[in-house]
Structure 1
Amino acid sequence: LRTNWISRDAAQKIYVEMKFTLRDCNSIPWVLGTCKETFNLFYMESDESHGIKFKPNQYTKIDTIAADESFTQMDLGDRILKLNTEIREVGPIERKGFYLAFQDIGACIALVSVRVFYKKCPFTVRNLAMFPDTIPRVDSSSLVEVRGSCVKSAEERDTPKLYCGADGDWLVPLGRCICSTGYEEIEGSCHACRPGFYKAL
């Protein structure tokens, strides 16, 4: 089973979330020795769609996926299917996109859903400074330093900075902007002072 070509957008590292059910081999008669309780996950990078062409030797194995829970014939009778969720990360991705492939090597499995995503630090406003969407580095131990820009009618007091972490969280706020003369801060933005009022120093 192979996905369509997936554009990586700005991502350098992607995550694959798989939800699946798997039947316990011991509950299936006459298949001992040939039944498996795992499947394999592969990927291949490419700059464009290859259409229906499929060359297995061009794919790189990500991992062998095993179920935490499997179901039996008795579960089937009770209409109980135990759903497993596994997430794997892949990276760095350097081409424009990629394919994912799933190899069944003899398991009684139902792949219920596959979600492909990447993490980013979302646009935010801190200390009257705006910080854009930022993609973390592939190296999860290093942070991306991002310089903020002051909101309208504000000016830098100290250079505003945030650091984008590997999990898409903003960390270590430094510096700030302040409202310009004649403006006051209200809920993260600068508003003109009302007639007869002035900004406190």
Structure 2
Amino acid sequence: MATGKRESLTAADWTEAALTALARGGLAAVAVEPLAKDLGATKGSFYWHFADRNELLVATLALWERRDTDRVIGAIGESGDATARLRRLLRLAFTSVPDDGTAGAVGTVELALQASAAHPLVAPALRRVTERRLGFLTRLYTELGLSPARARDRGLLAYTAFLGHAQLAHATPGLLPGGRAFTTHVDQMTETLMRLGD
């Protein structure tokens, strides 16, 4: 998105660029000079919008939460048939992780953040996002009739399946099936996680 015009860049432009860099290269990739170069801007443009890198990190983590958690939960909704909502959520999560390991795909930010999970800005964001997602999954499984404890266990299973799927797509994308076989794979995972029996 190289614009070369400082005045045309917004804080949102910097934050989007930082999120892309984070997904591609982890926390270390969120650095002012490389981002400025990618955007065709100067460091002065960055400091027009942010006091420092930490302020950009906070904005970037907030954008990730809005995009990959708030928006997803909002799309699924809080009312209606729990079976259909859970199936839609699982399919959305698994199909949002493409079989080519694309850097901007859902799940890549989580994976990139794992190496920096103890960072004082990353740790609370990861915890908050994970708790919100698990809470939403637990509510859906509870609405399907599971006890709170079993719903929490099933939600944890679904979430760890998503993270494992994302890791595989990112690290060894050639191991995932492609094309129609990918769709079948997602359908099988979804239906397995929809089963409520032991």
TM interval, shorter chain, is: under 0.3
Higher strand share: 1
Return the TM-score normalized by structure 1: 0.25
Return the TM-score normalized by structure 2: 0.25
Higher helix share: 2
Point out the structure with max Rg over C-alpha. Answer: 1
